Structure 1
Amino acid sequence: MSEPVSIEQALEPVQSSKKDDQGRWTRWLLWFLRAMAVISMLKGLYHWSVVLGIGEGPDSAFTLQPIPWQTATVYFAIIDLVAAVGLWLAAVWGAVVWLTAGVSMAAVQVFFPQIYGGSWLVVAIELTLFCCYLVLALQSAREHPH
Structure 2
Amino acid sequence: MSQTASRRVVLEPSAVEVAFAWFQRLMAVYCLLFGAFYWVRLIGIYPGVLWRFDLMPVHWRIATATLAVFFPFAAAGLWMLASWGPVIWFICAATETVMYAGFPQLFGVNWPIVAVHAVVALIYLIFRVVLYLQKRRERQEMTD
So what's the TM-score if we normalise by structure 2?
0.80
Residue 32 of structure 1 aligns with an amino acid whose one-letter code is F
Residue segments in structure 1 that go unaligned for 5+ positions in a row: 1-18
Tell me, yes or no, if structure 1 residue 51 matches structure 2 residue 47: no
> What is the TM-score of this pair, normalised by structure 1?
0.79
Structure 1 residues 140 and 76: alpha-carbon distance in aligned structure 2, compared to 1, 3 A threshold: same
Look up the match of 2:3.
none
Question: In the aligned structure 1, how far is the partner of 2:80 from the partner of 2:87?
Answer: 13
Alignment of 1:112-131 (within 5 A): 112-131=103-122
Alignment check: 8 A CA contact 1:23 1:143 kept:
no
Identity between Structure 1 and Structure 2 (%): 29
Alignment length (residue pairs): 127
Superposition pairs of residues 1-146 of structure 1, within 5 angstroms: 21-54=12-45, 56-57=46-47, 60-145=51-136
Q: How large is the Cα RMSD of the aligned pairs?
A: 1.8
Distance 1:142 1:70, change over 3 A: same
1:95 and 1:125, CA in 2 relative to 1: closer, same or farther beyond 3 A?
A: same
> Quick one: higher RCO (CA 8 Å, sep 6+), 1 or 2?
1
| 1:88-137 residue CA offsets vs partner (Å, 9 max, x unmatched) | 01111001111111111111111111343122222121111100000012
1:63-93 Cα offsets, whole Å, 9 max, x none, are: 1110101111111101101100000011110
